[in-house]
Structure 1
Amino acid sequence: MECGRGCYFLLALHPSHFTLAPLLLCSFGSKPSFLSCIFFFSFFFLLGECRNFIKVLLSQHGGLFVCGTNAFNPLCANYTKDTLEMVGEPVSGMARCPYDPRHANVALFADGSLFTGTVTDFLAIDAVIYRSLGDSPALRTVKHDSKWFREPYFVSAMEWGPHIYFFFREMAMEFHHLEKVMVSRVARVCKADLGGSQRVLEKQWTTFLKARLNCSVPGDSHFYFNLLHATSNIIHMQGRDVILGLFSTPPNSIPGSAVCVFDMQQLAHVFEGRFKEQKSPESIWTPVPDEAVPKPRPGGCAVLNFVKTHPLMDETVPLLGHRPWVVKTMGRYQLTAMVVDTEAGPHKNRTVLFLGSTRGTILKFLMIPTGDSVSHSSVFLEEVEGFNPEKCGEDSPQARQLLSLSLDRTSHTLLLAFPSCLVRVPTSRCHLHSRCMKSCLASRDPYCGWTRGSTCSFLRPGTSTSANMVPSGAVKVLESFISGLNARHTVQQKCIKTRKMHTSVHVSVFSNFVKVNNESYIEEFIIDIY
Structure 2
Amino acid sequence: MSVGSIAFINGMIDALYCFPGVNRFPSEYTSTPQYFRKMALHGDHLYVGAMDLLIKFSLVNISNATARVEQNVTEIHSFIKTNLIENVEKCLKRNRHAPDFDCRNHIRGIYIDGEDVYLCGTGSYQPQDFFLNRRDLTLNDSALEKMSKNSGLAKCPFDPHQDSTLIYVREGNPDDIPTTYSATSLDDTVESSLIYRPMLQSDSKSYQLLRTIHLEKKWLNVPHFIASFDIEDYVYFFFREISVEHPYEDEVTYSRVARVCKNDRGGDTALKNSWTTFLKARINCSLPGDNPLYFNFIQDVVYSKNDSAFYAVFTMTMGNTRSSAVCRMNLSDIEQFFRVEHFQEQLDVTKLWQKVPQNKVPTPRPGECNPDSEHRLSSVIQQFIRSRPLMYESIQAKPLYDFTDATFVRLAVQRVQNPEQTNLYRVFYLADDKGFIQKVSYWNEGAVAHSRLLQVWSPFSAPHLVRQMIVHNNELFASTDYEVIQLDVKRCMHYTKCTSCSVDPHCKWNKNIAVEHCQTYPEGSVQNVEAASSLATCSAADACQRPIETHEVQIEGFSVKMSCNSHCDPTTSVQWFHNNELISIDADKYILGTDNSLVVMETTNTDAGSYECKNESVLLQKHFIVMADCGDGEEAIECVWKNEFLKWCKEFNDYQTRMNEWQDLKDNCTKDVDEKHCYIQN
TM-score, reference length from structure 2: 0.64
Amino acid at match of 1:187: A
Using the alignment, how far apart are the partners of 2:96 and 2:229 within structure 1?
39
- Map 1:370-449; keep pairs closer than 5 Å: 370-372=445-447, 376-389=449-462, 400-409=464-473, 412-433=474-495, 437=498, 439-441=500-502, 444-449=503-508
Partner residue in 2 for 1:486: none
Cα displacement (A) at 1:313: 0.5
- Find the residue that maps to 1:219 and give its secondary structure: coil
Partner residue in 2 for 1:106: 165
1:63 aligns with 2:63: no
Deviations 1:365-411 (A, max 9, x none): 11011312xx632011111112224xxxxxxxxx51111112132xx
Amino acid at match of 1:404: Q
1:30 aligns with 2:89: no
Cα displacement (A) at 1:343: 3.2
Q: 1:493 aligns with which of 537, 541, 544?
A: 541
Partner residue in 2 for 1:120: 186
- Find the residue that maps to 1:328 and give its secondary structure: strand
Amino acid at match of 1:413: E
Partner residue in 1 for 2:195: 129
1:257 aligns with 2:318: no
Partner residue in 2 for 1:280: 348
Partner residue in 2 for 1:304: 382
Using the alignment, how far apart are the partners of 2:459 and 2:394 within structure 1?
36
Gap change, CA 1:518 and 1:279, over 3 Å in 2: closer
Residues 247 and 260, structure 1, Cα contact 8 Å, conserved in 2: yes
Q: 2:260 aligns with which of 189, 208, 212?
A: 189
Cα displacement (A) at 1:9: 1.5
Gap change, CA 1:370 and 1:253, over 3 Å in 2: farther
- Find the residue that maps to 1:271 and give its secondary structure: helix
Using the alignment, how far apart are the partners of 1:512 and 1:212 within structure 2?
34
Using the alignment, how far apart are the partners of 1:452 and 1:481 within structure 2?
15
Deviations 1:195-253 (A, max 9, x none): 111x221121100000000001111211100000001223434xxx2111100015867
Partner residue in 2 for 1:170: 241
CA RMSD of aligned residues (A): 3.2
- Map 1:285-296; keep pairs closer than 5 Å: 285-296=353-364
Cα displacement (A) at 1:8: 1.6
Using the alignment, how far apart are the partners of 1:148 and 1:456 within structure 2?
57
Cα displacement (A) at 1:18: 3.8
Using the alignment, how far apart are the partners of 1:31 and 1:13 within structure 2?
34
Deviations 1:319-364 (A, max 9, x none): 23xxx111112x1x41111000013545794210010011101011
Using the alignment, how far apart are the partners of 1:217 and 1:3 within structure 2?
38
Residues 69 and 100, structure 1, Cα contact 8 Å, conserved in 2: yes
Percent pairwise identity: 25
Amino acid at match of 1:92: S
Gap change, CA 1:175 and 1:297, over 3 Å in 2: same
Deviations 1:101-131 (A, max 9, x none): 1101111122122111111112232111112
Q: 1:234 aligns with which of 301, 304, 307?
A: 304
Deviations 1:235-279 (A, max 9, x none): 434xxx211110001586741111111111111122121100000
- Find the residue that maps to 2:402 and give its secondary structure: strand
- Find the residue that maps to 1:270 and give its secondary structure: helix
Partner residue in 1 for 2:337: 270
Residues 195 and 202, structure 1, Cα contact 8 Å, conserved in 2: yes
1:314 aligns with 2:392: yes
Gap change, CA 1:231 and 1:523, over 3 Å in 2: farther
List runs of 5+ in structure 1 lacking aligned partners. Answer: 390-398, 460-464, 483-489, 496-509, 525-530
Residues 33 and 71, structure 1, Cα contact 8 Å, conserved in 2: yes
Partner residue in 2 for 1:470: 525
Residues 108 and 156, structure 2, Cα contact 8 Å, conserved in 1: yes
Cα displacement (A) at 1:19: 2.8
Using the alignment, how far apart are the partners of 1:362 and 1:164 within structure 2?
30
Higher helix share: 2
List runs of 5+ in structure 2 lacking aligned partners. Answer: 1-25, 27-31, 35-50, 172-177, 371-376, 544-569, 583-613, 619-682
Residues 246 and 337, structure 1, Cα contact 8 Å, conserved in 2: yes
Partner residue in 1 for 2:289: 219
Amino acid at match of 2:246: F
Q: 1:42 aligns with which of 74, 88, 95?
A: 95
Residues 248 and 255, structure 1, Cα contact 8 Å, conserved in 2: yes
Amino acid at match of 1:307: I
Using the alignment, how far apart are the partners of 2:186 and 2:89 within structure 1?
21
Gap change, CA 1:347 and 1:364, over 3 Å in 2: same
Gap change, CA 1:437 and 1:15, over 3 Å in 2: farther
Gap change, CA 1:3 and 1:98, over 3 Å in 2: same
- Find the residue that maps to 2:309 and give its secondary structure: strand
Amino acid at match of 1:32: E
Gap change, CA 1:523 and 1:34, over 3 Å in 2: farther
Cα displacement (A) at 1:512: 11
1:364 aligns with 2:439: yes
Structure ranking higher on relative contact order (CA contacts 8 Å, 6+ apart): 2
Residues 475 and 488, structure 2, Cα contact 8 Å, conserved in 1: yes
Amino acid at match of 2:88: F
Gap change, CA 1:481 and 1:54, over 3 Å in 2: closer
TM-score, reference length from structure 1: 0.81
Using the alignment, how far apart are the partners of 1:453 and 1:133 within structure 2?
66
Q: 2:410 aligns with which of 337, 342, 345?
A: 337
Cα displacement (A) at 1:97: 0.8
